[in-house]
Structure 1
Amino acid sequence: MTESTPYQELTVPVPGGELAVLHWPAADPGAPVVVAVHGITANALAWAAAARLLAGRVHLYAPDLRGRAASRTVGGPYGLARHADDVALLIAHLGAGPVRLVGHSMGAWVCALTAVRHPEAVERLLLVDGAVTFPLPEGVAEDDVLAAVLGPALARLSMTFPDREAYRAFWRQHPAMADWTAELDAYTQRDLVGEEPELTSSCVPEAVRLDGGQVLVDPEAAAAVRKLPCPAELLWAERGLLDEPQGLYDAGRIALADLPIPAAPVPGTNHYSIIATEAVAQRLLG
């Protein structure tokens, strides 16, 4: 398996505690700074493959959002705007603004909000399979859509695992993660908390449900992609969260959205694999 790229760990003070942040340093101290924001039940190691592809040409910083992984003890309030303000505090703490900002899935909504709420912090923005909201069909409940979209990701929050190997086996059955790597292994293991035989996901259920609901219906989050104060682009995956043929977006949905920013598919990717591609890395370098 491909070995993970070494990283450093730091913490950043935010309201309610300290946000855990991973840093993959650049060979050149003066290289550009990229801040990368993960999805709703993910963690900072979601960006490990991107760090390998970037190959030390940028300083890459990725936080564990509050309520996840090593930031799980940073309590509420949760919500997309709170995460956006946390990202802005991280950038200010680094003294690095304006930065190149990239967000995946829910992280794309967070990054769009960060740019709108803190325009001085963001040089340009890359949105990856997220940030474009469509109205819920009439009569469809928010909880039902959240469960349908997140599926196994939500289910695992209430599951208990006897050991780390059992959690590894759970993830290796995921249809969107057929190509298992050391990076995926480390990413999934970072999510575990507790002691054997009662290991659980680090994700705080309240945070996931509140954040997920806002992705679906929050007007500020939905409007952010249309109010961006900086250059931006959307990349979308051809396939879905379970590697199904229908992704979150397709050419028809993107056309219907009539976005004010360019949008392009990344062929051969699903919702998870898209962030481990040269397409993402090259846009962060360009």
Structure 2
Amino acid sequence: MEALKTYATHHKVALHAVELDVQSETSAQAAVDQVIAAQGQLDVLIHNAGHMVFGPAEAFIPEQYAQLYDVNVIGTQRVNRAALPQLRKQGQGLVLWVGSSSHRGGTPPYLAPYFAAKAAMDALAVSYAGELARWGIETSIIVPGAFTKGTNHFAHSGRPADTKREQAYAQGAYAGFEQEVLDGLATCEPEDADVSTVAQAIVDIVGSPYGHRPFRVHVDPSSDGCEVVNAVADRIRAEFLRRIGLSDVLSPRLIPAPQESSHG
């Protein structure tokens, strides 16, 4: 919060930070209410909260999986339930999800809990898209690839709680494997890969005209193949919705804003 306030002051921009904990329904509702009270409306809802873990899947205890899902998946539901009534009332708005190419691209081992949570989030985003279109609400999904530089994703990633099982891998058949994974990812990532391109993609989508925003935008300098798979999956989804007579939910329905009555 303080860093954002400092940035706004230093750069002289109208940036007002509002605290929101995606793991708290009360916090999510309070944040949304605060924005609506100040601005009178919501324009864009961005799901960007996420946390990564790194290590052998077996060594993470079930509670760690649950906690990761709580942040990366259930957190989006808390915020949606707080914000969507206002967007539906307006008859217009944008829900933008920041996902991960790991949900369908080539993926290395040792990131299973994070990949599983991101796959769940993408499935939720796709389902929501069809359920919000008739309310006039657009959906866009940003799909970043692996950026090993410029974020704290890997540096601050969580570790398995069951250290005994973690050591069984580290001292057994998978000795040195963690570094192999990191080195392998680094070799796929171009030297000029810049994570700020993800932020720019968000800016571009938000700035696009209503009704013309892309459903997906991939920002993957490592080219892990997710864009290829998603092109097929999204085409099949669209074809299926047309087959069952629901083609209208593939794009938002523009709902005219209610006009105030005038008395002469």
TM category, shorter: 0.3 to 0.5
- What is the TM-score with the length of structure 1 in the denominator? 0.34
Using the size of structure 2 for normalisation, the TM-score is 0.36
Compare CA radii of gyration and give the structure with the larger one: 2
Q: Higher relative contact order by CA 8 Å / sep ≥ 6: 1 or 2?
A: 2
